[in-house]
Copies of this chain bind each other. A is one copy, B any other.
Amino acid sequence: MVDSLRAAVVGTGLIGGSILLRLRERGVDVAGWDPDAATRAEGRARGIDFPDALADAVRDRDVVFLCGPLSSLPETLRTVGGLTGPDCVLTDVGSTKGGIAAYAAGHGLTGRFVPGHPMAGTERAGLTAASPALFDGAAWVLCPTAAGLDRFRTLAVLLVDVFGARIVPLDPDAHDAAAALASHLPHLLAGTLAATVAEADLRDAALGLAAGSFRDGTRVVGTPAARTVDMLLNNRDQLLAQLDRVRGLLDRYAAALRGGDAAALADLQQRARGLRLALLDRELPAAAPRTFPRALPPGAEPDDAAADGELAYLLSLGAAGGYLTGCEVTDATVTYAAHLPRGC
């Protein structure tokens, strides 16, 4: 499938650029486009197809990856949706999914658009910082819908084949809640740590003593501020809810410190450490493959019962912490290979 695929990437910064470079490395016919003329020139200098007009970059493509700043993605989706035909699959890479899924529904694009979020990045920016290996083995969230199941399958096959990605199917709201914990909160706490030291009387002495714990704890603060602010604001309801829980935990740490309660502190640290060890030791066992009827021949109405079964399977898999490592589509069926936490 990959050999004959024609893809485009719109917005070729760190994330989009890394997607483009990997597609190209794997022999996919891929065009790039970026609103920045210097980036387009850089792309062309590297021998990549980088037309000046967006319409030329996305015309007759099978798949278009919508990248670039988070706040720009709804407008990009609307524009590219208008420039491409009904068979072109659209997906994005934004770090929140509820807003753009609702936007797609409001613009009649739910059937063509599969919200996505590859879980990798660095604090650097731009096509020059892009790397074809950025997503090696990374979790890649896709949000399937009943109307867009066939497009979900197309993308799952592509992302597994080309990126070696672990596909995590999630409902947009579940994604936003989990991403608040896994990504947005770490960014906010890193910012808090660095800002606390920045405003301290002993700023310079503290910098003089900073070693591994401070370096690791502030690494993501190097991300361009506008990118982080965009991300935090776009998920603010989920983030505020998690922030309340963080403040509750800080209260527990403070109470234990004030009371000299070593047992309470040890309990908190053991909980935290257990989570860390679970993260490091996260090789999930393979689950039994699941096969569903592919009840959507071209032009037919979606078979709601069949689609619901497949959709329910996918969404519960992701919510349980599992991921797909394969998707095989025949004329009549679709079969998923998956990994799941023990006991799920």
| Contact partners of A312 in chain B: CB under 8 A | none
Flag if B194 contacts A181 (CB, 8 Å).
Answer: no
| Distance to closest chain B CB from A94 (angstroms) | 14
Flag if B273 contacts A222 (CB, 8 Å).
Answer: yes
- Which B residue's beta carbon lies closest to that of A225? B269
| Distance to closest chain B CB from A114 (angstroms) | 17
Among A138, A217, A225, A282, residue most surrounded by chain B Cβ atoms (within 10 Å) = A217
| Interface assignment of A200: CB less than 8 Å from any CB of chain B | yes
Please tell me which one of the listed residues B170, B196, B239, B279 contacts residue A242 in the complex, with CB atoms under 8 A apart.
Answer: B196
Flag if B273 contacts A194 (CB, 8 Å).
Answer: yes
Flag if A212 contacts B121 (CB, 8 Å).
Answer: yes
| Distance to closest chain B CB from A131 (angstroms) | 13
Q: A191-234, CB under 8 A of B: which get 1 and which 0?
A: 11111111110111111111111111111111101101100110
Cα(A209)–Cα(B179), bound, Å: 7
Flag if A258 contacts B236 (CB, 8 Å).
Answer: yes
Flag if B269 contacts A215 (CB, 8 Å).
Answer: no
Flag if B183 contacts A214 (CB, 8 Å).
Answer: yes
Q: A6-46, CB under 8 A of B: which get 1 and which 0?
A: 00000000000000000000000000000000000000000
Cα(A191)–Cα(B247), bound, Å: 13
- Which B residue's beta carbon lies closest to that of A261? B233
| Distance to closest chain B CB from A181 (angstroms) | 4
Flag if B216 contacts A273 (CB, 8 Å).
Answer: no
Identical chains in the assembly: 2
A205-B320, A271-B198 given; A217·B217 CB < 8 A: yes
| Contact partners of A115 in chain B: CB under 8 A | none
Among A182, A209, A245, residue most surrounded by chain B Cβ atoms (within 10 Å) = A209
| Interface assignment of A337: CB less than 8 Å from any CB of chain B | no
| Distance to closest chain B CB from A319 (angstroms) | 5
Flag if B168 contacts A250 (CB, 8 Å).
Answer: no
| Interface assignment of A341: CB less than 8 Å from any CB of chain B | yes
Flag if A239 contacts B212 (CB, 8 Å).
Answer: no
- Contact-residue size bin, chain A (C-beta under 8 Å from the other chain): 35 or more
Please tell me which one of the listed residues B182, B188, B254, B270 contacts residue A243 in the complex, with CB atoms under 8 A apart.
Answer: B254
| Contact partners of A265 in chain B: CB under 8 A | 229, 232-233
Please tell me which one of the listed residues B175, B186, B247, B276 contacts residue A213 in the complex, with CB atoms under 8 A apart.
Answer: B186
Cα(A240)–Cα(B260), bound, Å: 12
- Which B residue's beta carbon lies closest to that of A121? B212
Please tell me which one of the listed residues B122, B188, B246, B273 contacts residue A221 in the complex, with CB atoms under 8 A apart.
Answer: B273
| Contact partners of A258 in chain B: CB under 8 A | 236, 240
- CB within 8 Å of B: which A74-120 residues: 119-120
| Contact partners of A202 in chain B: CB under 8 A | 174, 177-178, 181, 319
- CB within 8 Å of B: which A125-157 residues: 138-139, 141
Please tell me which one of the listed residues B121, B218, B253, B274 contacts residue A275 in the complex, with CB atoms under 8 A apart.
Answer: B218
| Interface assignment of A187: CB less than 8 Å from any CB of chain B | yes
| 6 A-B pairs with least C-beta separation | A204-B321, A194-B272, A225-B269, A181-B206, A198-B275, A186-B213
Please list 10 pairs of residues, one from A and one from B, whose beta carbons are closer than 8 Å in the complex, sorted by A's number.
Answer: A120-B211, A139-B208, A178-B209, A181-B206, A182-B206, A205-B321, A221-B273, A233-B257, A233-B262, A243-B254
